[in-house]
Structure 1
Amino acid sequence: MKRTMKSLSLRHKIIVMFLVLCIFLIGAGIYWYRMTTLTIQDNTMKLSRQIINQMNSRVDAYFMEIVNLTLPMTARNVSAQFLDKSSGGPYERLLYAKPVNQMIYNVMVGRPEIYGISVVSQDQVSTSSYSNLFAQERFSKISNKLDQPGKFVITGVENYNNIRLLTMAVKFFSPGTQHWGILIVDLKLDKISSIAKDVTLGDTGFIWIADTEGRYLYYPDSHKWSERIPEPFWKRLQSSGEGGGIEYSRGKKMIVTYGKSELTNLAFFSETPLAEVNNDLVKLRNTTILIGVTALMLGMMVAISVSFSLSRSILLLQRLMKRVEIGNLDVHAPDNKKGEIGYLYRSFNAMVNEIKNLIRTISALQVKEKELEIKQLDSRMQALQYQINPHFLYNTLEIVNSYAIIENIPVISRVVQSLARIFRYSVENHAKTIPLSEELAHIKDYLDIQMERFENLRVEILMDVNQSAKMMAVPMMLQPLMENAFRHGYQNHKLEPGSLVIQGHRLGDFFIIDVEDNGRGMAPELKDYYNRLFQDSGGEDRVEDARLGLWNVHSRIRLFFGHGCGLHILSSDASGTIIRITLPFYSIRDGSEALVHDHDC
């Protein structure tokens, strides 16, 4: 074989090489087409799953909004009085139903998607915003589906006056008694249907929704509403909460993906015709084959006609490239050549000139990279500090505080006032550094709320007030450490929070703050692991989500005060955990900050 190739002329060698290349390209094209088809199908399924997950999240958020809006109704005194006393007679029913109806009206104001709300007692005495009889008729069917008091359940789809309603209900008890009832919320399906209707997959793909009983809750063809979904889909949904594959639907091969909401138990399906996905790919394949064959034939003809001149030009270019390889950038190919060789020579000259330009611009690029690093640090700092903007909560908290004062509940008033100050501190404090006294005031508000929650919690803050007013600190520095103590020191080990101590003092050119709890600590190897991360300036990519709050605090302290500052876990065992914060000792004089020491923290 080698002798045969050597005996062939350059022209014949080029023909043989082109034939081999054609065979290889045909095989590679077939493989490329099959792999591309599978990749496109896989990407289509991934994209469909992402769309389904986004829809799932939107629907879950919508239902949680309805739950948060209506669930407090079950804790109101008027609801308890209705359950306890409305069964006495028509007068009592009318008397105690009136405030319940007013409460229902207040909840439904501005929510047109809520068709109606009903409250039905265990004696099947009801009051409703639209039909008491309709609520009573559904009492037994709905109450049998409510196992856990205080938890909303979607009970199914109802038809009322030719309007399809999605019904959700919750069982609740009157405090201190055995009287119970159910709160029924009927939602128009327009909101959920619009979420699915707005989503399109390609030209003819679509999304549809199934309810908890395996019936169409929404389908582009409205005639299928309330019909049972295909049995293969239902079986797959029962065996797996999400998945997908190639299915036959409506006589076509369809790419079907599905996912089930853990909150609402509603199932979301996407269907995309397989032919539609592959249509452009088939056209691309045919076009590619045509272009490839044409290019090969033309290339063969051109290669044969210029084989001799090409070899001489390539040898010249090879000599010039060797000189470039050894560092001589003053070489220059002839400019008088025409055609492909002339273009190749000009490209070579342009390449050499571009190399020269790149070498000259390296220093400028290095300066720009430094500037970019500084901008990235600023952007990262802003991302860490501007994470929430809950201005709309202030008015709500003021309303809750007013009600607490009117109802003479000082505990709620204090908690709401502390919570309002916490939100205001986290939103309005945009300074890079603040006096430590402001951070301590913030953490006191946070711990006041926790002490209302945990009766046995004892808090000590041992720090000189005057000194803390002169110290500079990072905003939101202590709260993540408190949250870490509650979650990992107490709650994860099912322990009642007992003691939290915050003490600070000056140590040379630094100011030390120790945060101590008496919860269950972490394993020694885990403590050593996090201390190594705190010492390593590039350990952000390796930190676990569970300790992201500690890393956030540590990173911000280092951004402002240098790599010598930050967090360090002094001890962590069965008796508790001590985390140390190291800050530079700043003093504030005449409205300016003065650093006591003159070296990096």
Structure 2
Amino acid sequence: MWRRSLAVKVFMSFVIVIIVSFSIVSISMYVTSSRELDLLHEEMLTQIVDNALHHTDLYIKSYERATLSLLTSSQVKQFLDAEQNQYFTYYSLSAQIKDELFKPIFINNPEISMIYLISYNGMTFHDFNIDHPPFSESVLKDSLEDLREQTKDDGSLSLIDWSFLDGQLALARKISGRQTSKLFKGIVGIELRIEELTTLWKGIRLGDRGYFFIVNDRGKIVYDPNKEKIGKQLEGRLFEQVRDHEGAFFIDEEAGEEGLQRIYFSRRSDYSGWTLVSSMPLEAVRKPVQTIRQTTLAASAISIVVALLLAYRFGRSIISPIRMIEQGMRRTEKGDWTKVPLRGKKDEMDRLIHSYNIMVSRLSELVERVYESELKNQDNLFKRQLAEFQALQLQINPHFLYNTLETVICYAVVQESEEIKDIVRAMSLMLRYSVQTDLEEITVANELKHVLHYMTIMNYRFEQPFELQVDIPPEYLLKKMVRLTLQPLVENAFKHAFPDGIEDYHYIRIYAEAEGQRLKITVADNGQGMPEEELLKLRMKLSVNEAQRSKERQLREQLSAEEQVEVGQAGEHGGIGLINVHNRIQMVFGAQYGLSVESAPGQGTAVTLTMPDTDAVGFAGMAGRHLKIEDRSVNQYNELFSDSFMMNL
């Protein structure tokens, strides 16, 4: 009985609402339809003109890039500075500019028909990309003052009202000796076929009798669907209306060629100076209003009948979702967070069900906040460790960079040679590899590649090849390790192992071995080695394991009081390269990994990196052969390495 009475009340309420609402809609439709459709047509015309204007400006601006090579060319700078009587300079520079600058522009922009260059000193040069009638250089000189007036003082590309070639669109800009200078020394201009621009506008559709045209500031028609009008002057009365109503709609009271009144909308481009105009017959704009008015009454009557039938069904169907919500609330009271499924009708009942589901979700979220708080604390801890890792990784030794740059400068002053190219290329690759500060574990192969670039530079600095022995099996080359950990060890060997210079018997050897679940990579040299006191200081910094620390404490007890103070301050001086490598390995793989050092005076030093034995993801397999490179130049090893493996620098 309750459900039946509720359905009747809903039905009667719905009947009243339908009748009243449709009556109001029918009456108001006659008043508002005309205004709304007028606004719709105005928005459509505005959007069409604005889009066409935007794409036209972008298309013209794109040709600024075509002239950038001229702005930065040293030949163009010399051409602008040359005097009229310097004929040899003129012909040599003209040939270079034509081959090195104009020809690539013509290839990349085949729509460009002509490029010309005019200096304020009276020098001119031009080239064509099409068959052309005879053309005199004096025409360019005579047009210099006119071009200076029509081009913008900020050096950007400007549209010219006239062109040297028929049927062409002329663009020009002032040019200086330097790209950033505002002291202009000449004019560079291009001319392109106007047909290239018409492709932007042919797709605009404004109905059967609507059209779109473009005029410049002087009333000359730049584009019209009727090709016979292009290049002619727009009718004076209409041009005045277009100019006076820029950015607004207006109706031409006089009938046009078709005997119809038309509505126009115009918009002027500040960049090109063109005015884009769209036009439609006023009759075509008003006709949809009449059609809507005629169909409103019929549609309203049919809609009322259909609405009454739907209201009856609505009264019956509304009870079902209410019961579903009631059952859901009972389950919620028992702690069951089950949501009520939506019916998919997007009405008030669905919104009510949606609100109930939101309430259930929020209640369940309160239970999960404790777990989210714990996860948030762990995330903050990870971010702090990431910041510490990146700070350590950015500690690049500047002395090596300074020495390398000095070497490059020396070679550049003495002679032009391939050595400079090799040094700069290796330096660029090293810097690109070094400045990456993410936590990505890279491969042993990547680190070896970085060492090879470093050795390229070092060989030029030593002015003799140095023997770098690499004895690493191929199956180890795809093992994981931390970025920038191998090259600092090689650099450390050069700095401390050979203080009296590099001799023929000196070597640095890199080899790897696996012990259980650990991978060890060692960099050994046959240099002067380290005294026991210095080795103790370094091991105290590294603190590799408990056994070593115990031995170091015993050695420290044998030192004098002054020496113990010096050891205590060891963490404040020197060793930042090894400490940096050691800390970053521990940050990535854990405190049980890192560096260990073995050394003896006169017998050399061996520094070992200990890491987990894991393979990198995303690298292809490699040939199953043992890679041992000895008595090879670094360039030879670099070529072999590049051919054998896919690097991911």
* Structure-2-length-normalised TM-score: 0.44
Q: Highest Rg: 1 or 2?
A: 2
In terms of fraction of residues, the more strand-rich structure is 1
* Structure-1-length-normalised TM-score: 0.47
